[in-house]
Amino acid sequence: MVTLKINGKEHQVDAAEDMPLLWVIRDIIGFTGTKFGCGKGLCGACMVLMDGNAINSCQLPVSLAVGKELITVEGEQENLQRLQKSWEKFNVPQCGFCQSGQLITATALLTSKANPTEEDIHNAMGRNICRCGTYQRIKNAINHSVE
Ligand code: FES
């Protein structure tokens, strides 16, 4: 049994200690906004915030998330909610599959740097792949959210 704090609430889950955090979040707890893409730490679809940092939940054994503050795309976090509004305004998603991961990475960026430069955005968002190529709209949405 492990206890996780996700989106401000504690969840006790019956999971093996080495189960990837992603499966616990999606299949056991039911926050399905976090997606499975590559399962290899390469695409960023599975990103969640852990103590403010964007991490690939497909790569993290659940035991390493105990005692941490986890936030998924369903969570209430000021920068995340501001970005979600901006995502809507700029009609960012195409198929949408990667967008929760994109939002989580952008949230971590704005939380560490309130006014990121173009280079900061480019560097931070390089961890997330979008097969529909929404990169320019993502950049516009991030820039708009800090105006
Ligand atoms: Fe975790 Fe691709 S699913 S990085």
Query: What is the C-alpha separation between 58 and 132, in angstroms, rounded?
Result: 22
Burial class (CB in 10 A: 0-12, 13-18, 19+), 115: exposed
- Give the distance (Å) from ligand 1 centre to CA of residue 102: 12
Instruction: Give 33-60 pLDDT, tens digit per residue.
Output: 999 999 999 999 999 999 999 999 999 9
* pLDDT score of 146: 85
* pLDDT score of 120: 97
* pLDDT score of 7: 97
Q: Could you give the domains of the chain?
A: 2-71 (3.10.20.30), 78-145 (1.10.150.120)
Instruction: Determine if ligand 1 sits within 6 Å of the CB of residue 128.
Output: no
Which atom, in ligand 1's list, is nearest to the CA of 37?
Answer: 3
DSSP reduced 3-state for 122: helix
Cβ atoms within 10 Å, residue 8: 11
Burial letters for 83-100: b for 16+ Cβ neighbours within 10 Å, e otherwise?
bbebbeebebbeeebbbb
- Give the distance (Å) from ligand 1 centre to CA of residue 51: 19
* pLDDT score of 59: 98
Burial letters for 49-71: b for 16+ Cβ neighbours within 10 Å, e otherwise?
bbeeebbbbbebebeebeebbbb
Query: Span 111-125, mean pLDDT?
Result: 96
* pLDDT score of 145: 92
pTM for the structure as a whole = 0.97
**Angle of CA points 37, 145, 86, to nearest 5°:** 60
Mode of pairing for the β-strands spanning 69-71 and 2-6: parallel
Instruction: Determine if ligand 1 sits within 6 Å of the CB of residue 39.
Output: yes
